[in-house]
Structure 1
Amino acid sequence: MFLLYRQRIRCQPFFFYSCRRLLQNGNMKYRLLPETGQKVSEVGFGVWTLSTGWWGEYTEKQALEFLHRARDLGINFFDTADVYGDGYGELLLGKAFGDASEEVVIATKVGYDFSGTSRGRGQRELPQDFSEGFLRKAVDDSLRRLRRETIDNLQLHNIRMEHVEDDALWALLEALRQEGKIRSYGIALGPAIGWLYEGITALRLRRPSVVQHIYNLLEPFPGRPLMDAAPDQNPRFLVRVPHSSGLLEGKYTAETTFPKGDHRNHRPTHWLPNGLKKVEQLRFLEEPGRTLGQAALQWILCEPRILSCLPNIYTMEQLEEFAAAPEAPSLSRVELDRIEQLIAGNFGIEEPPEAYKGTMISAASA
């Protein structure tokens, strides 16, 4: 069923919105974070690139320069997690914006226990803990590191189905909101691509204000059916990995290699060679005033249910490029139709089945 759905993915109905924008302020454009009234920049900044060592090493001074430059460019939305650098990502945001709580919107995630666990710079998944005592302490610790009284959006980090179905967990989130410790709450799906019915069930059962997931031109599934399950058209989806770990920036070659410990080394072996073939078929999106990387973000932002996209930013050049994406020449109807055709046929490339994680078949059809 899902293979058929994947082949039939069509970028309607969202293309009929003609890349509609909700709010604008200067060059950056903004959308409304549900339940808060806060404006969130269409291009956000995921702090994991600066704080985990998985995308290179940065001094604190360099990291703060990235964050301040992002704010200068109109980016006001920053996404982190308590586990990023074992609290370091939140500490960076606290130092950069601790006195600008009304100007900067911050989302963080909780649910992993990194206390007393040494994993160095490795990427193995840590134990999870969604008990009330653990989460309350995690929220208080995040507030302290962020130098804030309230977290704008708190996400349950990479939840499983048992957490979606846990009434007490969601009652706790609502209690934290009533206590003023958080303004809104949601979920992050992962760590790898998949987790379809964890997301769909949460949308139907819990109505989270935010759902973070992987979605891009090269990996549109299962993001499309996940978003189709949303109860309304309100922007609520945060898209991470919008460039397929850098492929859609259009700068990799067959000779590209990544340093030891780099996140991209965890991709399957066919990801780079097949991705390069797909990218070449998308070169028609490059034109004066618009890079392939900007076009990849525009394609995502054509979907009105998307709140913000979080490109992996690890150079100043990328930061300038991606922040300017909303103002680059818009994708045309012809270009959108051609993209749709390429996606529907998987760019004419035969690939092994994707090793999706999580629940990919509904309980009703199992």
Structure 2
Amino acid sequence: MRSHTLGRNGPTVSALGFGAMTLAPRVYADVSEQEATEALLAAVEAGVTLIDTADIYGAGYSESLIGRVLRDRRDEVVVATKFGGNADERGRLRPGLGRPEYVRTALEASLGRLQSDHVDLYYLHRLDPTTPIEETMGALAELVQEGKVRHVGLSEVSPATLRRACAVHPVAALQTEYSLFNRAPEKEVLPACEELGVGFVAYSPLGRGLLGGALRDRSDLGAGDWRRGNPRFQEGNIERNLALTDAVAALAAENDLSVAQLALAWLVHRGTVPIPGTRRAANVRANAAAAGVELDEATLLRLEALVPPEAVAGEQGDEGYLSRIDR
């Protein structure tokens, strides 16, 4: 497993991490605790050191699972978690989650569930529009000084907000959705990270399952699957998007890779750290292997030509709204 240092002075992590949202039964109702445990252990045994979660994944279940399963292996992993992403029953971000007093309360709760005395990388999950980013960063800086947080991260913020945050305290990583199906960060966000010395962590690196290889049509989505309400998975759009996946799969086969491995290897080549999530240990191991794949320039150019941004059908969806609140 290759390693990658996030930011100028951030943590050194595996070139590919593990997204633990998929381990929460309240998010994915059909995942069992045994399955989740096996997937998490498979990640660590495959050399994955960056384990990414959040306090809202399964209402704390994901953090608690990580605490139970990795308590005796805490020194082997870089645990990243997030706060401030809670929404109301209508999906609207709750106000006040970036206030200094809330930051400290949220961290203490996460530390309890993680069974740890520190978080290696602590993210603000979504910008609180009622609190200046400088105040939130000031609170996070205090937690760093106290040793309860090792590094600070932000998720889904604009370059302008990122610059303001970095003026208060170093930001080790910015986490944003990025994949062959969502290349929006290439316009402004990735250049800003390069300029400011901030690492980039790519969530939903497999296009929310479109590049996973298992999804063939809308009927593959369970009745309670949240993607049924996402524009990219609506009838008319999902067929067009899966046609793009088929084109990527053909190129992957030429290189003896799965479509997921090719999509992940592309992100690693771009200098980002993708954090794919899955409940299946076999998929964890296959994804981890993508970190070691070498892609030549010709293959990269062909791949990017197969999925031009304008060809992806449907809007990004819910996260798109949340990422624009500071525009």
1:339 corresponds in structure 2 to 303
**Are the structure 2 counterparts of residues 76 and 169 from structure 1 closer, same or farther at C-alpha, using a change threshold of 3 Å?**
same
Residue 177 of structure 1 aligns with an amino acid whose one-letter code is V
Q: For structure 1, which runs of at least 5 residues remain unmatched after alignment?
A: 1-27, 190-197
Aligned residues: 316
Are the counterparts in 1 of residues 181 and 309 from structure 2 also a CA contact under 8 Å?
no
Residue 147 of structure 1 aligns with an amino acid whose one-letter code is Q
User: Once the 2 structures are TM-superposed, how far is the Cα of residue 107 of structure 1 from its aligned partner?
Assistant: 0.4
**Are the structure 2 counterparts of residues 223 and 160 from structure 1 closer, same or farther at C-alpha, using a change threshold of 3 Å?**
farther
User: Once the 2 structures are TM-superposed, how far is the Cα of residue 358 of structure 1 from its aligned partner?
Assistant: 5.0
Distance (Å, rounded) in 2 between the aligned partners of 1:205 and 1:352: 32
Alignment identity in percent? 27
User: Once the 2 structures are TM-superposed, how far is the Cα of residue 318 of structure 1 from its aligned partner?
Assistant: 1.3
* Superposition RMSD in Å: 2.7
Instruction: Give CA deviations for 1:236-255 in whole Å, capped at 9, x if unaligned.
Output: 11101111111112332236
User: Once the 2 structures are TM-superposed, how far is the Cα of residue 301 of structure 1 from its aligned partner?
Assistant: 0.9
1:229 corresponds in structure 2 to 192
Distance (Å, rounded) in 2 between the aligned partners of 1:147 and 1:299: 35
Distance (Å, rounded) in 1 between the aligned partners of 2:18 and 2:80: 10
Find the partner of 1:320 among 282, 285, 293.
285
Distance (Å, rounded) in 1 between the aligned partners of 2:186 and 2:4: 20
Distance (Å, rounded) in 2 between the aligned partners of 1:86 and 1:359: 22
**Are the structure 2 counterparts of residues 361 and 124 from structure 1 closer, same or farther at C-alpha, using a change threshold of 3 Å?**
closer
Instruction: Give CA deviations for 1:190-226 in whole Å, capped at 9, x if unaligned.
Output: xxxxxxxx32113222222111110111211145421
TM-score (norm 2): 0.86
Distance (Å, rounded) in 2 between the aligned partners of 1:131 and 1:258: 38
2:260 corresponds in structure 1 to 293
Are the counterparts in 2 of residues 76 and 103 from structure 1 also a CA contact under 8 Å?
yes
2:153 corresponds in structure 1 to 186
Instruction: Give CA deviations for 1:77-117 in whole Å, capped at 9, x if unaligned.
Output: 11111111111111111111123332111000012458xx8
Are the counterparts in 2 of residues 31 and 235 from structure 1 also a CA contact under 8 Å?
no
**Are the structure 2 counterparts of residues 301 and 147 from structure 1 closer, same or farther at C-alpha, using a change threshold of 3 Å?**
same
Find the partner of 1:155 among 109, 114, 123.
123
**Are the structure 2 counterparts of residues 44 and 125 from structure 1 closer, same or farther at C-alpha, using a change threshold of 3 Å?**
farther
**Are the structure 2 counterparts of residues 271 and 92 from structure 1 closer, same or farther at C-alpha, using a change threshold of 3 Å?**
farther
Q: Secondary structure of 1:62's match?
A: helix
Find the partner of 1:206 among 143, 153, 165.
165
**Are the structure 2 counterparts of residues 181 and 336 from structure 1 closer, same or farther at C-alpha, using a change threshold of 3 Å?**
same
Are the counterparts in 2 of residues 55 and 314 from structure 1 also a CA contact under 8 Å?
no
Residue 246 of structure 2 aligns with an amino acid whose one-letter code is E
Are the counterparts in 2 of residues 31 and 41 from structure 1 also a CA contact under 8 Å?
yes
Map 1:109-124 to 2 at 5 A: 109-112=82-85, 124=91
Q: Secondary structure of 1:280's match?
A: helix
Find the partner of 2:94 among 122, 127, 130.
127
Which protein has the bigger helix share? 2
- More deviation, 330-339/229-238: 229-238
- More deviation, 123-132/77-86: 123-132
User: Once the 2 structures are TM-superposed, how far is the Cα of residue 162 of structure 1 from its aligned partner?
Assistant: 5.0
Are the counterparts in 2 of residues 295 and 325 from structure 1 also a CA contact under 8 Å?
yes
User: Once the 2 structures are TM-superposed, how far is the Cα of residue 50 of structure 1 from its aligned partner?
Assistant: 0.7
**Are the structure 2 counterparts of residues 88 and 186 from structure 1 closer, same or farther at C-alpha, using a change threshold of 3 Å?**
same
Are the counterparts in 1 of residues 50 and 78 from structure 2 also a CA contact under 8 Å?
yes
Instruction: Give CA deviations for 1:285-338 in whole Å, capped at 9, x if unaligned.
Output: 32353111100001111122x2x211121222311210111234x222112112
User: Once the 2 structures are TM-superposed, how far is the Cα of residue 146 of structure 1 from its aligned partner?
Assistant: 0.8
Are the counterparts in 1 of residues 173 and 199 from structure 2 also a CA contact under 8 Å?
yes
**Are the structure 2 counterparts of residues 361 and 146 from structure 1 closer, same or farther at C-alpha, using a change threshold of 3 Å?**
closer
Q: For structure 2, which runs of at least 5 residues remain unmatched after alignment?
A: none
Are the counterparts in 1 of residues 211 and 245 from structure 2 also a CA contact under 8 Å?
yes
Residue 171 of structure 1 aligns with an amino acid whose one-letter code is G
Instruction: Give CA deviations for 1:43-64 in whole Å, capped at 9, x if unaligned.
Output: 2111110114333433323322
User: Once the 2 structures are TM-superposed, how far is the Cα of residue 42 of structure 1 from its aligned partner?
Assistant: 1.7
Residue 285 of structure 2 aligns with an amino acid whose one-letter code is E
User: Once the 2 structures are TM-superposed, how far is the Cα of residue 361 of structure 1 from its aligned partner?
Assistant: 11
1:245 corresponds in structure 2 to 208
2:135 corresponds in structure 1 to 168
Instruction: Give CA deviations for 1:238-288 in whole Å, capped at 9, x if unaligned.
Output: 101111111112332236431122132132114411211211222223235
Find the partner of 2:321 among 357, 361, 366.
357
Distance (Å, rounded) in 1 between the aligned partners of 2:68 and 2:301: 45
Are the counterparts in 2 of residues 81 and 109 from structure 1 also a CA contact under 8 Å?
yes
